[in-house]
Structure 1
Amino acid sequence: MNIILKSAKIIDATSSHNNQVVDVHLKDGKIEKIATSITVEGAEVVQLEDLCLSPGWFDTSVSFGEPGYEERETLVHGLEVAARSGFTQVAIESNNNPITDNQSLVAFIKQKAAGQTTEALPIGALTMKSEGTDLAELYDMKNAGAVAFGDYKKAIDNANVLKIALQYVQDFDGLVLAFAQDKSIKGKGVVHEGATSTTLGLKGIPPLAEELQIARNLFLLEYTGGKMHIPTVSTARSLELIREAKNKGLQVTCSVAVHQLVLTDAKLTEFDSRHKVSPPLRDEATRQALLAGVLDNTIDCITTDHMPLDIEHKKLEFDLATSGTIGLESAFGALNTVLPLEVIVDKLTAGRSIFGLPTASIAEGNEANLSLFTTAASWTFTKDSILSKSKNSAFLGEPMQGKVYGVIRQEKQTFNF
Structure 2
Amino acid sequence: MKILLKQAKIIDPSSSFNNEQKDILIEKGQIVEITDQIKEDKKYTIIQSSDLHVSKGWIDLKAHFCDPGQEYKETLESGLEKAAKGGFTRVGVLPSTTPVMDQRISIDSLYRKAAKNLTGVIPMGCLSKQMEGKELAELYDMQIAGAALFTDDRLSTDAAVLSNALMYAQNFEGKIVVSLGNSSLSKNIQVNEGEASLKTGLKGDPIISEIIEIERHLRVLEYSGGSLHISGVSTQHGATLIAKAKKKGLSVTAEAHVMNLCFDESEVLEFNTRFKTLPPLRNKKDTKSLVKSLSEGAIDCVVSNHRPTDEDEKEVDFENATFGAPHVQTLFSAMNTNTQLKLNELISILSDRPANIIGITTRPIEKNSVADITIFDPNENFDASTLSSKDKKYSPFDLSKLKGKVIGVVRDGKFNMN
Give the TM-score range, shorter chain: over 0.9
- 1:412 corresponds to: 414
Mapped partners of 1:336, 1:13: distance in 2: 19
* TM-score w.r.t. length of structure 1: 0.95
* TM-score w.r.t. length of structure 2: 0.95
Conserved 8 A contact 2:195-2:266 = no
- 2:189 corresponds to: 189
Task: Please say if 1:355 is aligned against 2:344.
Answer: no
Write the mapping of 1:44-59 to structure 2, written as runs, cut at 5 A: 44-59=45-60
Mapped partners of 1:21, 1:362: distance in 2: 12
Conserved 8 A contact 2:193-2:206 = yes
Mapped partners of 2:71, 2:252: distance in 1: 34
- 2:269 corresponds to: 269
- 1:166 corresponds to: 166
- Residue 327 of structure 1 aligns to which amino acid in structure 2? H
Q: Which runs of 5+ in 2 are unaligned?
A: none
Conserved 8 A contact 1:73-1:388 = no
- 2:60 aligned counterpart, secondary structure: strand
Which 4+ residue blocks in structure 1 deviate beyond 4 angstroms? Answer: 388-391
1:39-89 Cα deviation digits (max 9, x unpaired) = 376443323332110111000001100111101100111111110111111
- 1:93 corresponds to: 94
Pick closer, same or farther for the CA change 1:314–1:116 going to 2, 3 Å: same
Mapped partners of 1:185, 1:44: distance in 2: 56
- 2:255 corresponds to: 255
- 2:324 aligned counterpart, secondary structure: coil
Pick closer, same or farther for the CA change 1:5–1:378 going to 2, 3 Å: closer
- Residue 194 of structure 1 aligns to which amino acid in structure 2? G
- 1:245 aligned counterpart, secondary structure: helix
Conserved 8 A contact 1:58-1:348 = yes
Conserved 8 A contact 2:85-2:386 = no
Mapped partners of 1:287, 1:388: distance in 2: 29
**How many residues of Structure 1 are paired with residues of Structure 2 in the alignment?**
413
Deviation at 1:131, TM superposition (A): 0.9
Aligned partner (choices 379, 383, 402) of residue 400 of structure 1: 402
- 1:177 aligned counterpart, secondary structure: strand
Deviation at 1:213, TM superposition (A): 0.6
- 1:35 corresponds to: 35
- 1:150 corresponds to: 151
Q: Which runs of 5+ in 1 are unaligned?
A: none
Write the mapping of 1:185-334 to structure 2, written as runs, cut at 5 A: 185-334=185-334
- Residue 91 of structure 1 aligns to which amino acid in structure 2? G
Mapped partners of 2:250, 2:180: distance in 1: 17
- Residue 313 of structure 1 aligns to which amino acid in structure 2? E
Deviation at 1:388, TM superposition (A): 7.3
Aligned partner (choices 370, 374, 377) of residue 373 of structure 2: 370
1:145-202 Cα deviation digits (max 9, x unpaired) = 111100111121x211110000001101000001111011113221111122201111
- 1:66 corresponds to: 67
- 2:130 corresponds to: 129
Conserved 8 A contact 1:81-1:388 = no
